[in-house]
Amino acid sequence: MVRGRSAYVWNAERNDFLRRNAGLMKDVDLAREMSRQFFYEFSVAAIRLQRRKLGIQKENGRGKCEVKDKYKR
């Protein structure tokens, strides 16, 4: 029984796209753009989960796209 397609969906190219654009776009826009570019339907939840797995955190607040600085206090 196959539990999920996580290993199939996320490869180095898609992870790099996510890293490069996480600070520039909202998760909704990332899902839309990645679906268009990679011909696979990405959900906002999938984008958010993978972004968190990669250790990319965004600033708190509605409509903010900035990535949190790890070393900022």
* Per-domain residue ranges of the chain: 6-53
In this prediction the pTM is: 0.77
The predicted-structure confidence for 20-41, as pLDDT tens digits, reads as follows 999 999 999 999 999 999 999 9
pLDDT at position 31, please?
95
Question: What distances in angstroms separate CA 28 from CA 18, 57, 73, one per listed residue?
Answer: 12, 15, 28
pLDDT at position 59, please?
80
Give the model's confidence band at 1: pLDDT under 50 very low, under 70 low, under 90 confident, else very high.
very low
